[in-house]
Amino acid sequence: MNPSTRKTIFTILFFMALITAHAQEKVNTEKCRYIKTAYGYLMVLREGDDVLANIENLAREKQIPSANFTGIGFASEATFGFYDFNAKKFNPKTFNKVEMGSITGSIAWKEGKPSIHVHGVATDDKFDAYGGHILALKVGTGSMEIYITVHNEKLERKLEQPLGANVLQLNCNQ
């Protein structure tokens, strides 16, 4: 094999190795969203991640019976909802590019699916704060940290009337 061919093959192999390493690094970054802790899980989400969907997927995948969680981080979009009890629906309002000073919520189950209930407080670049029930939350530049504390008891939510709202059910006979 002549030196020119050898150099071409070496160059091709070198770039293939770089591409493979970069692709593997990207796969590893995309896969790891949480780790197990002594009391539950620590979830670190990155730009573009849907916070509620990731919590719901973790609850389903790990069959979490119930949990509470807290979090902080940056959001590209945070949609809050104020519940109108007369109309039996949320009136939504979306804020862009905010910092989540606090996220708190619970994981329970409803009709065989995870039921996520989240509230939070967001601040904008003027330090104006907005808060309440979170309907949607997408991670912005940076990250979002969610600390999930798992409980042994499986909790359910049920639609209660006349409220027309999902309410966490307690089994007081345990």
Residue whose structure tokens are 């969203």? 33
pLDDT confidence of residue 70: 98
Parallel, antiparallel or unpaired: strands 156-160 and 129-151: unpaired
pLDDT confidence of residue 119: 98
What would the two tokens of residue 115 be?
Answer: 């039921």
pLDDT confidence of residue 161: 86
CA 73/CA 48 separation, integer angstroms = 13
Domain ranges of the chain: 34-169
CA 20/CA 11 separation, integer angstroms = 14
CA torsion angle 157 91 53 99 (round to 10):
-120
pLDDT confidence of residue 164: 81
Domain 34-169 has CATH 3.30.1330.80: yes
Q: What is the pTM for the complete model shown?
A: 0.80
Mean pLDDT of successive 10-residue segments in the chain (174 residues)?
70 68 54 93 98 98 98 98 90 97 98 97 97 97 97 94 87 78
